[in-house]
């Protein structure tokens, strides 16, 4: 993993989308306690306000609060992954479908989706106050999530190279996409005179272990939300593993991961309503549209999904927003012993 940041810096940061970072945005933590993680942020000026004529202020580190909703780095059982994608063991693998997907990834439609121009820096300089700070936080979280996907996919591409070269190459090309997205976002931070030290983040961040089937469920959902083509690949992976789709446990896990991803997204975004309003969106309407469309697509592959179009579903989401706000207030209180 040590060379990951170096590889990232060599890629042209020219594309992105609705940011979710593969599995990272699903949240799904192991412990409810809040902690603080320090990671390096290089800067030549404060991010909370545009540069002042009095001269730049140096800022070496910043603090990120680790909460239930913080993007995470993930690892998995790579030996089991190798068994799952061994064609001699798993006769369900549709190699023709993977070959077709590989050609799509090689075409690299993502390469020219987003190109920077002078308007980026000009827009950043005009941002002031809370909106400026919350946009910086959005870039930091999104860059972290995308970089998380890069690390996981890169390692899968390396580990599966002998077992299934086609699947391995697709994972490597997906890591290319994630690196490009993270690089684009980090370049966006430079408009605010900031930059994440991704090499330091690779070493300092704690990694959460997920079994392969949990990787499939959660990443399928987050990729469908964030980058459709990656979601199509995970759909093919799931179809090649019918044991993850065809029994009562699969139904329960499918519903669980749908709820986990949808609720995490909704709570995260409602914490940052000022950001979405700042770009002309109604946060809750936008999120419900994304959840409903994702759920309709997910129902084609998952054996069970929650009824997100029932009005009671949104009522309970909004209730969770209120509870989450109270939890945040308690965490920020000085009354905690």
**What percentage of the chain exceeds 70 in pLDDT?**
78
Return the pLDDT at 91.
Answer: 87
- Where is average pLDDT lowest: 31-40, 95-104, 249-258, 282-291? 31-40
Average pLDDT over residues 200-225: 87
Return the pLDDT at 117.
Answer: 86
Q: Kindly state the DSSP code that residue 246 receives in the 8-state scheme.
A: S
| Between residues 257 and 129, the one the model is more confident about | 257
**What's the pLDDT tens digit per position in 223-232?**
888 777 888 8
Q: Kindly state the DSSP code that residue 244 receives in the 8-state scheme.
A: G
Return the pLDDT at 200.
Answer: 82
DSSP result, 150-210: HHHHHHHHHHTTTT-HHHHHHHHHHHHHHHHHHHHHHHHHHTTTEEE-HHHHHHHS-EEE-
Average pLDDT over residues 89-93: 89
Return the pLDDT at 106.
Answer: 94
Mean pLDDT of the chain: 80
Return the pLDDT at 56.
Answer: 40
DSSP result, 17-36: -S--TGGGGG---S----EE
């Amino acid at each position: 993993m040590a060379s990951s940041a170096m590889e990232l810096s060599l890629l042209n940061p020219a594309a992105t989308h609705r940011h979710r970072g593969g599995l990272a945005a699903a949240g799904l933590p192991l412990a409810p306690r809040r902690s603080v993680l320090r990671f390096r942020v290089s800067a030549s000026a404060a991010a909370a306000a545009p540069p002042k004529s009095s001269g730049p202020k140096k800022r070496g580190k910043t603090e990120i609060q680790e909460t239930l909703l913080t993007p995470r780095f993930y690892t998995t059982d790579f030996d089991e992954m190798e068994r799952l994608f061994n064609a001699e063991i798993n006769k369900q693998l549709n190699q023709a479908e993977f070959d077709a997907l590989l050609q799509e990834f090689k075409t690299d439609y993502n390469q020219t989706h987003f190109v920077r121009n002078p308007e980026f820096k000009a827009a950043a300089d005009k941002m002031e106050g809370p909106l400026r700070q919350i946009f910086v936080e959005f870039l930091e979280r999104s860059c972290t999530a995308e970089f998380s996907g890069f690390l996981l996919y890169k390692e899968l591409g390396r580990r599966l190279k002998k077992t299934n070269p086609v699947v391995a190459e697709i994972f490597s090309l997906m890591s290319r996409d994630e690196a490009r997205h993270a690089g684009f976002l980090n370049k966006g931070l430079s408009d605010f005179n900031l930059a994440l030290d991704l090499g330091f983040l690779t070493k300092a961040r704690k990694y959460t272990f997920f079994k392969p089937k949990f990787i499939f469920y959660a990443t399928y959902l987050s990729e469908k939300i964030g980058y459709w083509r990656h979601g199509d690949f995970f759909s093919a992976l799931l179809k090649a593993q019918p044991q993850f789709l065809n029994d009562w446990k699969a139904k329960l896990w499918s519903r669980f991961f749908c709820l986990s991803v949808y609720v995490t997204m909704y709570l995260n975004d409602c914490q940052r309503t000022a950001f979405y309003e700042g770009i002309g969106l109604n946060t809750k309407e936008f999120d419900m549209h994304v959840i409903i469309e994702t759920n309709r697509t997910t129902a084609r592959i998952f054996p069970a999904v929650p009824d997100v179009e029932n009005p009671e579903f949104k009522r309970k989401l909004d209730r969770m927003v209120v509870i989450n706000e109270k939890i945040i207030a308690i965490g920020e209180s000085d009354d905690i012993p």
